[in-house]
Structure 1
Amino acid sequence: MVATNEPGAPARAKRRRADTRQRLLDAAFDAFAEDGLGRTTVEQICDRAGFTRGAFYSNFSSLEELFLAMWEQRSAQLLEGVRAFLDPDIDIGDPRQAVEYLLSAVPVDDKWFRITYEFTAHALRNPDLRRMMVAREDAIRNALMPVAVTLLERTGRRVPDPGAMGRALIAVHDGTATQCLLEPDDAAVRAHRTDLFLHVVEAYSEPIEP
């Protein structure tokens, strides 16, 4: 008879489940990027990860749920990187430097860009999924903006409407990311991306009165 109260067994089972889930997420990331969301099947992801369909469905109910889990994970990693810039020892002298700091924490990822744009198109055909994406994007923006506001305050500027600035920054990010990926070797394109972010930051903020 196998003992069910072996010391450490629950912890090991939890680690195994977490490892299985992560391997499925990693396999799905590569499959979505290479083959596209519409052409990727549960079986393909399981083959890449080395698991059966049972392992998939014990962790996710659908490919959409898997994608949302992937998005949540990558968003958490993004926020962790951005929050590192709140280190009080980091000296930020002007708004351009604040923008450059933030952009260095938000890399233009070719694979992730392909995945998210295809999934956005999919969500536009699915009202429930679209509402979920809007809610998650709002949560990400609400978490990012306090960091941006704090960085700008260090440069002597305040943000009257963080929500409006957040939407403008996301619009610029999405548009310029496309240009950067289409012309990856053009330094002028990336410089223009920084300039556009700076214009938005200056347009949606104002000097702090002495």
Structure 2
Amino acid sequence: MNHPDSVPDSDPSAESIPQSNAHSIQPGSQRRRRLGARREAAKAETREALISAAMAAFSEEGLDNPSLDAICARAGYTRGAFYVHFKDREELIQAVSERFLGRLLEGVRHYDESPAAMFNLVGRLMDAATAQDNVPLQQFLHAAGRSEVLQERYLGALRTASEHICDATQLSQARASMRGDVDPGQLAWLLLALTTGVQALREVGAPIDSRRMGDLLSYLLQRA
């Protein structure tokens, strides 16, 4: 009798397997690996759905208002599924905040190497600041004030963003497409402060046109 996990002699796939390796390949182990991979993919999908639902709910109601039950229902999962991925509400807020910060970094991380690198980056920063489903900035900063972990992540993301902005600034200056008398480090923090201000003004209904603002800033930075 063949062992249930062995490769049958009549199995066509066994003909292509060298004899030295045939006995080392266990279909049972392969099935377990496939099942494990599917389980991990399902877990990642559930986590993503919960974060997306929370981000949408927080953008509409703020960080403190939506209940966990409402967030879970919006994602299509139970509270039990929630606790598989997050210890508590604060941990969910941290995950949502990382998504928020990721958008900021995405806007500055992949700048092109054209002479207009810095000006393209300004436009992406303005777009990130005015995304409709952003978490309300005041709520986010309030949460960062209550959590050292979140505060450190926020400051870390800002430092990383400032480094990318510095790189883009230096590239544009080296290619003589931008004023050379601008300090890259100071400009980086100015742009981050402007991005924060744009988002705060948008939240109170100010008539912000991010594209025109970005164009104006680019004009001011252009080499005379």
- TM-score where L is the length of structure 1: 0.71
| Cα separation, partners in 2 of 1:178 and 1:126, compared to 1, 3 Å | closer
Q: How well do the aligned residues superpose, as a CA RMSD in angstroms?
A: 3.4
Higher mean C-alpha deviation, range 20-29 or range 61-70: 61-70
**Match for residue 131 of structure 1?**
152
- Counting matched residue pairs gives 191
Of structures 1 and 2, the larger Rg is shown by: 2
Give the whole-Å Cα distance in 2 for the aligned partners of 1:79 and 1:68. Answer: 16
SS in structure 1 of the partner of residue 64 of structure 2:
helix
Amino acid at match of 2:144: A
* Structure-2 separation of matches of 1:81 and 1:123: 21
| Counterpart Cα distance in 1 of 2:30 and 2:90 | 36
Distance 2:172 2:86 in 1: 38
The equivalent residue for 1:173 is 195
2:136 is aligned with 1:111 = no
Select which of 73, 91, 94 maps to 1:47: 73
SS at match of 2:133: helix
Opposite residue 216 of structure 2, the aligned amino acid is D
- Which one of 86, 89, 92 corresponds to residue 66 of structure 1? 92
Structure 1: which 5+ residue stretches go unaligned?
none
Q: Which amino acid aligns with 1:58?
A: V
What amino acid maps onto 1:102 in structure 2?
Answer: L
The correspondence of residues 150-165 of structure 1 with structure 2, limited to 5 A, is: 150-154=171-175, 155=177, 157=179, 162-165=184-187
d(CA) in 1 for partners of 2:91, 2:146: 16
Q: Are the counterparts in 1 of residues 58 and 135 from structure 2 also a CA contact under 8 Å?
A: no
Distance 1:54 1:147, change over 3 A: farther
Asked whether the 8 Å contact 1:169–1:197 carries over to 2, the reply is no
Give the TM-score normalised by structure 2: 0.67
- What displacement does 1:34 show? 1.4
How far did 1:84 drift? 4.2
Which residue does the alignment assign to 2:118?
98
Shift of 1:16: 0.8
Distance 2:29 2:57 in 1: 37
Q: What is aligned with 1:120?
A: 141
Task: Quote how far apart the aligned CAs of 1:150 are.
Answer: 2.5
Q: Secondary structure at the match of 2:86?
A: coil
1:171: how far off?
1.0
Kept after mapping to 2: 8 A contact 1:37/1:118 = yes
Bigger shift: residues 74-83 or 48-57: 74-83
Amino acid at match of 2:37: A
Equivalent residue letter for 1:40: P
Q: Which of 32, 37, 44 is matched with 2:58 structurally?
A: 32
Q: Percent identity?
A: 27
**How far does residue 118 in structure 1 lie from its aligned partner after superposition?**
0.7
Unaligned segments of structure 2, at least 5 residues: 1-27
List structure 1 runs of 4+ shifted beyond 6 angstroms.
none
Q: Secondary structure at the match of 1:39?
A: coil
Q: CA contact under 8 A between 2:53 and 2:75: conserved in structure 1?
A: yes
